[in-house]
Amino acid sequence: MAVAAVVVLSGCSVDQAFRFGWPIDGITDQSKRMFDLWIGSVIAALVVGVFVWALIFWCVIRYRKRGEELPPQTRYNMPIEILYSVLPFLVISVLFYYTAIVESDVDKIKPNPDVTVHVVAFKWNWEFEYPDEKDNSGQVVKTIGASDYVPVLVVPTHERIRFLEDSQDVIHSFWVPELLFKRDVFPGGVQNKFEVTIEKEGAYVGRCAELCGTYHSEMNFELRAVPQAEYAKFIAAKKQGMSTPDALVAAGDPNGPLAVKTHPFDTSRDSKTAS
Ligand SMILES: [Cu+2]
């Protein structure tokens, strides 16, 4: 009854209930490994929990008060003392082992990524450069956000993308919720990096996840994961000197030239609307 009430009253679907609090479907292969770790940990916790509840209820019922006489007091029972010292250590060892494996896998930087994106964060927007792609005049292909333009970061699906991160002023954090991953962007030549392979096409809102000043909450961008062929068309259009919206139209992106998951903020000081 209690479990059913929690599921029904919280408005969770059955599918969500069996995610045991996992936030959203990730779109990368890395997020699937993290999901598996989460489910494994929850099942381990439930097994321990059910065992402990069973012991509690058994003690409550089997040894309930039957009279005024004090029952025999057991102390210094070595087997039990050793058992409840060793068992928790075993439990955390197993959790640590699998966490370390998944973490090093999610964090892995392999040689020769398919696509490299240089993320440059600044107060309060983003610049995305493709260092391997140069246009006709020898300039690196890039997209820069402005107060009236949400930068759209176009990347291909099913290819390993390496993100290199630099900040021009303070610490920001690159976060696309659907990646189930975020990483701080540091100033001062400390370059963070990570790699993902995105498996699901779509438009996803990206945010700054590190409080970086007045307009931190407006520091949004959009990630477009597109098929390889469309990505190639987009890059070819950018190399000809097109703007990112024009290149998205030229590549035939179904989501259109401008961000669809977020919008530019109103720079008017009288504006009261949030992003
Ligand atoms: Cu920021």
DSSP 196-227: EEB-S-EEEEEEE-S--STTGGG--EEEEEE-
Domain assignment present for residue 176? The answer is: yes
Q: Is the pLDDT of residue 155 over 90?
A: yes
Q: Range of 59's domain?
A: 2-63+75-106
51 pLDDT tier (thresholds 50, 70, 90):
very high
Domain assignment present for residue 269? The answer is: no
Percent of the chain with pLDDT over 90: 71
Asked whether residue 122 falls in the same domain as residue 240, the answer is: yes
Q: How far is the CA of 212 from the centre of ligand 1 (A)?
A: 5
Q: How far is the CA of 163 from the centre of ligand 1 (A)?
A: 17
Q: How far is the CA of 219 from the centre of ligand 1 (A)?
A: 6
Q: How far is the CA of 24 from the centre of ligand 1 (A)?
A: 23
24 pLDDT tier (thresholds 50, 70, 90):
confident
Asked whether residue 208 falls in the same domain as residue 226, the answer is: yes
Return the pLDDT at 265.
Answer: 82
Asked whether residue 92 falls in the same domain as residue 130, the answer is: no
Asked whether residue 123 falls in the same domain as residue 162, the answer is: yes
Least confident of 72-81, 137-146, 176-185: 72-81
Q: Is 159 helix (H, G, I), strand (E, B) or coil?
A: coil
Q: How far is the CA of 217 from the centre of ligand 1 (A)?
A: 8
Domain assignment present for residue 272? The answer is: no
Total domains in the fold of the chain: 2
Asked whether residue 134 falls in the same domain as residue 218, the answer is: yes
Asked whether residue 127 falls in the same domain as residue 243, the answer is: yes
Q: How far is the CA of 218 from the centre of ligand 1 (A)?
A: 9
> Is the pLDDT higher at 18 or at 182?
182
Q: What is the CATH number of the domain that holds 246?
A: 2.60.40.420
Asked whether residue 120 falls in the same domain as residue 245, the answer is: yes
Q: How far is the CA of 186 from the centre of ligand 1 (A)?
A: 10
Q: For the chain, what is the mean pLDDT?
A: 90
Amino acid at 72: P
Which structure tokens are listed for 261?
Answer: 């998951």
Domain assignment present for residue 22? The answer is: yes
Domain assignment present for residue 258? The answer is: no
Q: What is the mean pLDDT of residues 199-219?
A: 94
Residue 122, Cβ neighbours under 10 Å: how many?
Answer: 19
Which structure tokens are listed for 183?
Answer: 């990483």
76 pLDDT tier (thresholds 50, 70, 90):
confident
CA atoms within 13 A on the CB side of 272: 0
Domain assignment present for residue 186? The answer is: yes
Asked whether residue 98 falls in the same domain as residue 166, the answer is: no
DSSP 58-107: HHHHHT---SSSPPPP----HHHHHHHHHHHHHHHHHHHHHHHHHHHHHT
Asked whether residue 130 falls in the same domain as residue 97, the answer is: no
Asked whether residue 48 falls in the same domain as residue 135, the answer is: no
Asked whether residue 184 falls in the same domain as residue 205, the answer is: yes
pTM of the model: 0.84
Q: Is the pLDDT of residue 161 over 80?
A: yes
Asked whether residue 173 falls in the same domain as residue 198, the answer is: yes
Q: How far is the CA of 225 from the centre of ligand 1 (A)?
A: 22
Domain assignment present for residue 264? The answer is: no
